[in-house]
A and B are shown apart, each in its own frame.
Chain A
């Protein structure tokens, strides 16, 4: 794995403006992504991991505001670019697939119309050339009967097929970074592992840098050598996936690992983390997990907890591990 930095996010803070108030979805996140690595962003629903993914793919919803921070991609701060300049990065450099393959494509257009349109837009190729490339892409995602798939409307295909088609479309632009936002959550279990395997294969073949967003640490372990854990919009732990799984430092990470059901372990009831995510309109000043944490001290709530390096490549934001209060 090369250590060359491809994407460097620092102090990223993103707010959503909604009728209920300002939601601080991503708070002061710093993250370094190396070229060619597979990085997992793990967290439960509402932890801000999808918002982070959309921010990296330059496709935040209209009501999201980047309050602070920079995102340097190959030496360019993408947040400083004008909208037309930014357009050159969308799809072309950074592409993305989503959780629900059934709503990824417009229901009134065929898969082929999407795929051919994107190919022609990015490469200016002729219709025939675009169709030929589309067929080749569908073959690469192991879809047979490519002609039929191109002519099919989304409702005529299964979830697994649609997710494969979405992967083909996301890769049609030859991106350097692929963000996969919970790509297997809506699929049934047998399809899940196939899709993960496919993503892994294509990562090698296309030389991708992969950002896998998931709530499932088991999936993280299968694919990614490095993992970051998010909680309530903050990045609380970072390190090699196997180390995190074997020796989680943050109490939240430990609980999250426990919550992954396995068939090898004898488990009466599924374990869960008591309590709820803090209200992100008004997040706590200190550690966001303090309220649910069994090891919480009176210092945890005081002021912001900084992430500290514990060992090379291993960082955690927890007072128990020497983080400054």
Chain B
């Protein structure tokens, strides 16, 4: 086994420290913004007395490190605070929003891998020809266009002007109601499948298509460009030439041998771009009113909802760190030269 147990333990410890560090920084940053969250907490018609009470309840009169202490001691008991906007526990809010985001991100990601990598390899094999140029142009456009801009344009064109696809949300509420659709896991595709609810499944997929496509554009372009340039590079390497000389057909050299050399770095960078995709998801969710983490975070930011903001950031940091670890472990598994 090329991965030592100490390494994994070390990485997990590191992960804990990273998340704690992110937590502390976010906490301090939210507290030094010159805002008056007690106004929000106490409501628009609060008296001076109520505001004072609100400041006490929220520990806003204490120094920041004391506030951090209060927060951390609650945090480790599973109490991530109560959202000042929704008035429900942040952890509950997050766990409700998480499946929506994951469904979006995973779909976008599958789309990016399944389309992006073959597209890049096709492009590499057509090196210099017209189809290669088209793919290169499209992917450089895709990698450099802001995701929220594409989201708005496509939403306007496909959702508003032509009405071909829903302009937002995850499912038609009326349809879900009349067919008795119940979100159990929060992954609507999965839920409608397990409940055998075909109309809702189709509707969910229709809702998912546009935001997932928009979100996939960046990782798709990235993986396509990477697999293209890597394939071109690998095909010029000596070991490809020796297999050719020894009589292995080109097709097999490309799809059995060179493909693995391409996949190792592509998987690593795709894994890391999952983090960016999550950030992209925040924009896409706001545009498409997708009730996920991004939408939640956006609303929280607009309303100085400190506990909610910190909760989202911690979740994202956790997500990022775990992905990093998984990517490294996959790398070891794919490349016999790497030992950790």
Contact = CB atoms under 8 A, between A and B. Distances in A.
A103 B239 contact: yes
B338 to A, nearest CB: 10
16 contacts: A54-B241, A61-B236, A90-B247, A91-B245, A92-B247, A100-B238, A104-B242, A106-B243, A106-B261, A107-B261, A108-B260, A108-B264, A121-B247, A121-B252, A122-B247, A166-B242
Given A104-B239, A106-B239, A118 B261 contact: no
B242 A87 contact: no
Interface stretch (B7-15, B26-34, B53-61, B329-337): B329-337
Interface in B231-260: 236-249, 252, 256-257, 260
A172 B336 CA distance: 25
Those 4 A-B pairs whose CB atoms lie nearest each other, nearest first: A91-B247, A103-B238, A90-B247, A91-B246
A180 B206 CA distance: 61
A44 interface: no
Contacts, number: 82
A287 interface: no
A104 B247 contact: no
B222 to A, nearest CB: 22
Nearest to B238: A103
A114 B243 contact: yes
A103 B237 contact: yes
A87 B239 contact: no
A108 B234 CA distance: 12
A59 B241 contact: yes
A135 interface: no
Contacts of A79: none
A31 to B, nearest CB: 19
Contacts of A59: 241, 244-245
B335 A118 contact: no
B264 A95 contact: no
A173 B239 contact: no
Contact of B337 (A100, A103, A107): A107
Contacts of B261: 106-108
A57 B245 contact: yes
A57 B242 CA distance: 10
Given A104-B239, A105-B239, A155 B337 contact: yes
A186 to B, nearest CB: 11
A117 interface: yes
A153 interface: yes
Contact of B248 (A107, A117, A166): A117
Contacts of A169: 242, 246
Given A106-B257, A107-B239, A118 B246 contact: yes
Contacts of B243: 106, 114, 118
Contact of A104 (B238, B248, B257): B238
A90 B335 contact: no
A87 B242 CA distance: 14
A96 interface: yes
Interface string A101-125: 0011111110000100110011000
Interface in A108-152: 108-109, 114, 117-118, 121-122
Interface size class of A (residues with CB under 8 A): 20 to 34
Given A90-B247, A109-B260, A118-B248, 19 more contacts: A57-B245, A61-B236, A91-B245, A91-B246, A95-B246, A95-B247, A98-B241, A98-B242, A103-B239, A106-B240, A106-B243, A106-B261, A107-B239, A108-B260, A108-B334, A118-B243, A121-B248, A121-B249, A169-B242
A210 B246 CA distance: 16
Interface string B253-274: 0001100110010000000000
B247 A173 contact: yes
A163 B216 CA distance: 45
Interface string A15-45: 0000000000000000000000000000000
A103 B238 CA distance: 6
Contact of A170 (B237, B244, B246): B246
A173 B243 CA distance: 12
A14 B12 CA distance: 58
Interface in B168-199: none
Nearest to A107: B337
A91 B243 CA distance: 9
Interface string A169-193: 1101100000000000000000000
Nearest to A88: B247
B245 A96 contact: yes
B35 to A, nearest CB: 54
Interface centre among B240, B243, B252, B261 (most CB of A within 10 A): B243
A281 B335 CA distance: 41
Interface string A68-96: 00000000000000000001001110011
A59 B246 CA distance: 10
A7 to B, nearest CB: 16
Contacts of A170: 245-246
Contact of A153 (B238, B240, B245, B337): B337
A170 to B, nearest CB: 7
A27 to B, nearest CB: 23
Interface string B311-340: 000000000000000000000001111000
Contact of B242 (A105, A107, A122, A172): A105
Nearest to A99: B238
Nearest to B259: A108
B39 to A, nearest CB: 60
A121 B248 CA distance: 7
A316 to B, nearest CB: 31
Nearest to A87: B249
Contacts of A107: 239, 261, 335-337
A104 B237 CA distance: 9
A54 B242 CA distance: 10
B246 A98 contact: no
A87 B264 contact: no
